[in-house]
Chain A
């Protein structure tokens, strides 16, 4: 296996994807670089080079004097004003131009995080800087590299969304690339490696028994399901968070007691909607579980509520499972 050069740049990012990457384990971040024989040409928070030396590395790569096997971008790219991207210049050049020039010579281009994938937070609401993702702007292929962009390997931009993404998703994707096994058919409709994004955040959620019987938490700090009242999108969010688990496999959003807000979704952060309460149309949630038709949802919900064990009814609105000796359900 040959050493692979990796160049990592940050656009409009919070640095959180790098921070998440540093929490990688088995293999940890340093071991994984060694295992994959990845040579980091430059990373904004880990390298010792700065200033002119960075410019020289950029130029050598752009002029094709140094191979760029993997080009990673974290953060959205602003295009204001008027598509020029002048609002954000590094080394005297708009970031958008640097990204295009590096992407043009990269064997593989990876968008790490939701911002680089689809625009994310900087591109939301008023989008003051006309920010966008590398290949996508939300659901549309209108990112800075354009609909037809292909890296030299022939692949489109590989998106690893998540706010932040799990370190496994980033390192796993690098591994598939280095091993030469990642093919276009391994990507889903959003150009994400399907192996990480083809299940739901809901899968493996410890509140699933409550979900099944629609016994729901009425406020935070309680044990019940967060879907009915507290805004949880775990049944719609394509990720494997609750099976994979975060930070030493200790937690996840719903395990932390707060709703999944579907941060791997192309339209994250969802506009004009509540994050901490479930919006209803009549008495039906506005966003139903993935692929579940409304009529069936109403039917099943009615039935399961009739069958709810007493134990779940009580526990769903309690901070702790009810004490021994209470009536059984």
Chain B
């Protein structure tokens, strides 16, 4: 007999999520992910001065607020007369953006994701006692340590952008503060302190050593518990294998990513692309949004975000989410750290992906792996900073124009679409990473990526369906972003 399980409120994700699944013969046969809260940012922004997007859009989300600032500043740059941004300012922007992403990745792992693995379901697996000791919420040794070190790491944001979340320092032409020599030194100092914590706690080796690893075989030889690595990553990897996470929650095998983190040499740390077995160029005009199953009025077919006016309608029949359903070339794609690393050709992630596909393990591991890579890159970016120029350069907005600002938030591609007319915002649309990953069905009835990952999943014990929590949180959903 089919059984329906509804989980609401869904704890340890950002914002309000409802997950409804149907289970038949211990297999998930239907899955619906709903964003249940709505604020109406896109309506609120209409009629505002364009630069007000820098005030309002970071406040869509308290955990990826800088990513919204970066996307908004790029959207404003796209509707400005030609100008040259401050090159130091742009690198400082990359540094604070990366700080937020690293923090988000580590917080998600230690605070949001891992408690599901302490479920009684896994109590007989090897390593369970160590898992409890390190990862019990609020008490585990590693959890306490990361909560302490987390805020110390965030001093980088205090020094460069004054406060967080919701700084106003990030502008199209750089940042509002020109860093002096002492501040540049302090930023590097805070970073080095934090890197040493990550090396000790997460890796059990230096970042340089870690970043040498380029094959799954080498990774296994270093990180499997029986090979003596006592780090959190080693414990997690060994336990994840025992718990079946390498295969659990198979999602979409198509990815997209956008350019992010401008580097001193002019390249981007993350490049853009579309993955469908191989990398091709990302074409922005192929992004559309369906609202067939979303609480918005008026249309059946997918349209460009520039034309979307998002009129809410809570009573629309069949609708079940405030999230829209973005699609790329009409297809469901996944976004986030795994998408970025696969598209960017990271050898270790590519190999894991070829072996497992997009699963709970590869999605969670990609975040940790990317965090280490970002920390390492940040150190080299800081060395480019000096006091040779202002970190800000002024831009002049056109009075009528449209443009899009695209970047990568921790959870994946983030785009801001702006239309200005006579100096005011006529339309502003935001497509967030979690809208891509946790969308409802589209007009063709195709379920979103998370819904697909849940479908077909065996549930061992209907009275303790821990698989659902693990799969959902492996996507690191941010519903406050999604249902702006």
Give chain A's interface residues, CB within 8 Å of chain B: 10-20, 22-25, 28-30, 33, 42, 44-51, 54, 76, 78, 81, 86-91, 121-122, 124-129, 131, 163-164, 219-222, 241, 245-259, 261, 263, 269, 274-276, 319-320
A15 near B62: Cβ-Cβ < 8 Å: yes
- Residues in A whose Cβ lies below 8 Å from that of B38: 12, 78, 87-88, 128-129
- CB pair B180–A46 under 8 Å, yes or no, is no
* Given A14-B480, A48-B115, A250-B158, A19 and B392 contact (CB-CB distance below 8 Å): no
Contacts of A252 in B (CB 8 A): 162-163
19 A-B pairs with CB atoms under 8 Å apart are: A17-B62, A23-B154, A44-B12, A45-B111, A46-B111, A48-B11, A50-B9, A54-B9, A88-B37, A89-B36, A131-B39, A220-B177, A222-B392, A246-B162, A251-B158, A252-B162, A257-B177, A258-B168, A320-B180
| A42 partner residues in chain B, CB cutoff 8 A | 11
Tell me whether B154 and A247 are in contact (CB under 8 A): yes
Nearest chain A CB to B474 CB, angstrom units? 16
Query: Which residues of B, 11-60, contact A by the 8 Å Cβ criterion?
Result: 11-16, 36-41, 43-49, 51-52, 54-56, 59-60
With A51-B8, A122-B40: A256-B62 Cβ-Cβ less than 8 Å: no
B344 at the interface (CB under 8 A from A): no
Cβ < 8 Å to A, chain B residues 386-416: 387, 389-394
Name the segment of B143-151, B206-214, B250-258, B364-372 touching the other chain: B143-151
B56 touches A164 (CB 8 A): no
Using Cβ atoms and an 8 Å threshold, which residues of chain B touch A127?
40, 44
B169 touches A256 (CB 8 A): yes
How many B residues have CB within 8 A of the partner chain? Answer: 82
Within 8 Å by CB of B162, from A81, A86, A256, A269, lies A256
**Complex contact A251–B65 (CB within 8 A):** no
CB nearest to A25 among chain B residues: B151
Q: Name the contact of A13 in the complex, choosing from B10, B52, B65, B480 (C-beta under 8 A).
A: B480
- Give the nearest-CB partner of B107 in chain A: A22
Complex CA gap A253/B55 in Å reads 13
The answer for the CA separation of A159 and B43 in the assembled complex, in Å, is 27
Pairwise interchain contact B59-A15, C-beta atoms closer than 8 A: no
Name the B residues within 8 Å of A219 (CB-CB). 392, 394
Of B63, B158, B161, B392, the most chain A CB neighbours within 10 A belong to B158
In the complex, B128 has a CB within 8 A of chain A: no
- B68: nearest chain-A partner, CB-CB: A14
State whether the Cβ of B98 lies closer than 8 Å to any Cβ in chain A: no
Would A18 and B162 count as touching, CB distance under 8 A?
no
Do B176 and A256 touch (CB < 8 A)?
yes
Residues 61 to 110 of chain B near chain A (Cβ within 8 Å): 61-63, 65, 86, 89
Question: Any chain A CB within 8 A of the CB of B335?
Answer: no
Least CB separation from A125: chain B residue: B44
- Given contacts A50-B9, A275-B52, whether A256 and B151 have CB atoms under 8 Å apart is no
- List residues of chain A with CB within 8 A of the CB of B312: 87, 128-129
Q: Within the complex, what minimum Cβ distance (angstroms) separates B187 from chain A?
A: 10
Note all chain B residues with C-beta closer than 8 A to A12: 37-39
In the complex the two chains form, what is the Cα distance from A252 to B469 in whole Å?
38
Interface of chain B residues 156 through 195 with chain A (CB within 8 A): 157-169, 171, 174-178, 180, 186
Shortest Cβ distance from residue B152 to the other chain A in the assembled complex, whole angstroms = 6
Max chain B Cβ within 10 angstroms of own Cβ: one of A47, A87, A89, A257: A257
